[in-house]
Copies of this chain bind each other. A is one copy, B any other.
Amino acid sequence: MAFFQKGNAILYLFYVSLSLILPKLQTRMSNLQMTDRLSKVTEALTHPDSLKSFSGEHTHGEPVPSGHILREIIELCRAILFPGFYGTPVTNLRSMNYHTGVNIEKLYQLLIGQIRAGLCFADEEKQHSEKTDKSIEQKNKEHCSRAQELAVLFIERLPDLRAILYTDVEAAYNGDPAAESFGEIISCYPAIRALTNYRIAHELDLMRVPLIPRIITEMAHSETGIDIHPSAQIGHHFTIDHGTGVVIGATCIIGNYVKLYQGVTLGAKSFPLDENGNPIKGIPRHPILEDGVIVYSNATILGRITIGKGAVIGGNIWVTENVEPGARIVQKKYK
């Protein structure tokens, strides 16, 4: 497959070299010539051949999820969950009531739009054929009312989300001698930001909202270096120290009171292919960590194995087999 125009590229390299060697021969391009060349690029880039692969299929005028708005949604959730630490500073319970009311209303409106965009997106990607004007309109109506329902359901989950995030703050505080207060942990610790995004995304994932949960966890990934798949299942009192480079795969199951250090991977070892040589999607392929497990920095745990209750995995090692409850695995000494 010749995925890019060879001839063009060679010509281009030739041109670059020429222009590097002979700057003096070259008279200044006129404005007209510039315009001409830029217009040709515009045409090339909007030619269906160039586009088909990327955007031909989901540009029927439906809304697409917006990174900008999802960022706002996360900020609203943080302000609602941790009033006084995120969002407008609050000064008393009554004022908190007003602010929370306004934030929830705004969150509700933004969520409807993004959930609906997610639902449309999934449709676009899955079924290409039988679209009629009628069916599109029908779909649209369904997505709208479904998005409204899911937005309310999600918002009703916020009190429980706050309760479980509280246990995570508690775990971080208890596990770090450098932490001086719960407030410090909420304000500074990347683990709390990553877990807030994950727990939000996980709720949306449970509701089968497409795409949005992934974007939300990737936002935390970019912000903290902690990459948790929204489908992973994580218990309470979970904490991650420092966090950069942590990866938690889609089918992980993590118990309560588990602690990870930076650079830990809970990944898949390999994945079976179907008859066409494509990876089979959706089968369990990531580890199970039982209650109280500790994994030290840069350890790599791969495959659907079980790390037993209370086991401790040392840093910088590669684990691909079950570990007994209470076991302590460490790297061989360097000499």
For residue A326, CB closer than 8 A to chain B, the reply is: no
Given contacts A98-B105, A157-B12, A160-B4, contact A31 B190 (CB under 8 A): no
Asked if A45 meets B80 with Cβ closer than 8 Å, knowing A3-B236, A8-B160, A163-B4, the reply is yes
Contacting pair A92 B35 (CB below 8 A): yes
Interface string of A95-121 (1 = CB under 8 A from B): 111111110110010000000000001
Asked whether A300 and B300 contact (CB < 8 A) given A45-B162, A190-B218, the answer is no
| From B82, B224, B242, B279, contact of A176 by CB (8 A) | B279
Q: Quick one: which of A45-66 are within 8 Å of B by CB? A: 45-46, 48, 50-51, 53-55, 58-61, 63-66
Q: Are A100 and B45 in contact (CB under 8 A)?
A: yes
List the B side residues contacting A302 at CB < 8 Å: 315
A182 with B54: CB separation less than 8 A: yes
Closest to A80 in B: B45
Check: A25 CB closer than 8 A to any chain B CB. no
Residues of B within 8 A of A247 (CB): 242, 244, 262, 297
B contact residues around A292 at 8 Å (CB): none
Copies of the chain in the assembly = 6
For the complex of A and B, 6 pairs with smallest distance between CB atoms: A98-B101, A4-B163, A125-B181, A55-B84, A177-B279, A61-B91
The answer to whether A5 has its CB under 8 Å from any CB of chain B is yes
Q: Which residue from B51, B97, B174, B181 sits with its C-beta under 8 Å from A279?
A: B174
**Do B245 and A244 touch (CB < 8 A)?**
yes
Check if A101 sits within 8 Å of B42, measured CB to CB.
Answer: yes
Q: Given A16-B206, A244-B245: A46 and B93 within 8 A (CB)?
A: yes
Q: Is the CB of B265 within 8 A of A262?
A: yes
A149 and B25 CA atoms in complex are apart in Å by 13
- Our pick among B28, B51, B180 for the contact of A125 (Cβ within 8 Å) is B180
Distance in angstroms from A242 CB to nearest chain B CB is: 5
Docked complex Cα distance between A177 and B229 (Å): 12
Contacts of A304-331 to chain B: CB distance below 8 A: 314-319, 329-331
Smallest CB separation, A251 vs chain B (Å): 9
As a 0/1 sequence over residues 259 to 292 of chain A, the CB contacts with chain B under 8 angstroms (1 = contact) are 0011101011001000000111111010000000
- A207 → chain B closest CB, angstroms: 6
CA–CA, A122 and B181, complex, Å: 9
Contact A95 B84 (CB under 8 A): no
Q: How far is the CB of A193 from chain B (nearest CB, A)?
A: 8
In the complex where A34-B152, A318-B331 touch, is A164 in contact with B51 (Cβ < 8 A)? Answer: no
Check if B29 sits within 8 Å of A149, measured CB to CB.
yes
Quick check: B177 and A282 within 8 Å, CB to CB? yes
Q: Which residues of B contact A157 (CB under 8 A)?
A: 12
Q: Would you call B280 and A177 a contact (CB within 8 A)?
A: yes
